[in-house]
Amino acid sequence: MRLHDEPIPTPGTGEALLRVTAIGVCGSDLHWFAEAGIGDARLAAPLVLGHESAGVIEDGARRGERVAIDPAIPCQVCEFCLEGNPNLCVALRFAGHGGEDGTMREFMTWPTRCLHPLPDTLSDADGALLEPLGVALHAIDLGQLKAGMTVGVFGCGPIGILILQLARLMGAVTLIATDRLPHRLEAARAFGAITFQATDGEEAAQVWASTGKRGVDVAFEAAGENHAVETAIAVAKPGGRVVLVGIPAEDRTTFTASTARRKGLAILLSRRMKLTYPRAIRLVQTGQVDLRSLVTHRFPLDEAVAAFRLAEKREGLKVILTPGG
pLDDT, one tens digit for every residue, the chain (325 residues): 899 999 999 999 999 999 999 999 999 999 999 888 888 888 889 999 999 999 999 999 999 999 999 999 999 999 999 999 999 999 999 999 988 999 999 999 999 999 999 999 999 999 999 999 999 999 999 999 999 999 999 999 999 999 999 999 999 999 999 999 999 999 999 999 999 999 977 899 999 999 999 999 999 999 999 999 999 999 999 999 999 999 998 889 999 999 999 999 999 999 999 999 999 999 999 999 999 999 999 999 999 999 999 999 999 999 999 998 7
Q: Are residues 172 and 247 in the same domain?
A: yes
First to last CA, the chain: 19
Q: Classify residue 113: in a domain, yes or no.
A: yes
The Cα 259–Cα 254 span in angstroms is: 12
Q: Are residues 55 and 111 in the same domain?
A: yes
Q: Are residues 208 and 121 in the same domain?
A: no
Residues contacting residue 58 through CB under 8 Å, at least 6 positions apart: 16, 17, 18, 19, 107
Q: Are residues 279 and 218 in the same domain?
A: no
Amino acid at 98: G
Whether the CA torsion 254, 257, 261, 262 is positive or negative: it is negative
Q: Of 269, 296, 314, which one is at a domain's C-terminal end?
A: 269
The residues that bridge with 218 in the sheet, in sequence order, are 151, 241
Q: Classify residue 8: in a domain, yes or no.
A: no
Other beta carbons within 10 angstroms of residue 11's beta carbon come to 18
Other beta carbons within 10 angstroms of residue 36's beta carbon come to 12
Q: Are residues 260 and 146 in the same domain?
A: yes
Q: Classify residue 6: in a domain, yes or no.
A: no
pTM of the complete model beyond 0.85: yes
Q: Of 269, 289, 306, which one is at a domain's C-terminal end?
A: 269
Q: What H or E segment, with its residue span, contains residue 139?
A: helix 124-143
User: Residue 138 phi/psi, 5° resolution?
Assistant: -65, -40
Q: Classify residue 21: in a domain, yes or no.
A: yes
Q: What is the CATH number of the domain that holds 21?
A: 3.90.180.10
Q: Which pLDDT belongs to residue 254? A: 93
Reported as half-sphere exposure (CB side, CA atoms, 13 A), residue 215 has a value of: 20
Q: Which pLDDT belongs to residue 201? A: 77
Please give the residue range of the domain that contains residue 96.
15-133+273-322
Other beta carbons within 10 angstroms of residue 146's beta carbon come to 11
Q: Classify residue 4: in a domain, yes or no.
A: no
Collapsing DSSP to helix, strand or coil, 54 comes out as: strand
Q: Which string of b and e fits 262-290 if b means at least 16 CB within 10 Å?
A: ebebbbbebebbbebbeebbebbeeeebe
Q: Are residues 152 and 215 in the same domain?
A: yes
Q: Are residues 120 and 186 in the same domain?
A: no
The residues that bridge with 110 in the sheet, in sequence order, are 16
Q: Are residues 207 and 186 in the same domain?
A: yes
The Cα 310–Cα 82 span in angstroms is: 41
Q: Are residues 290 and 251 in the same domain?
A: no
Q: Are residues 227 and 277 in the same domain?
A: no
Q: Classify residue 218: in a domain, yes or no.
A: yes
Tally of domains in the chain:
2
- CA 185 vs. chain centroid, Å, equals 18
Q: Which pLDDT belongs to residue 319? A: 97
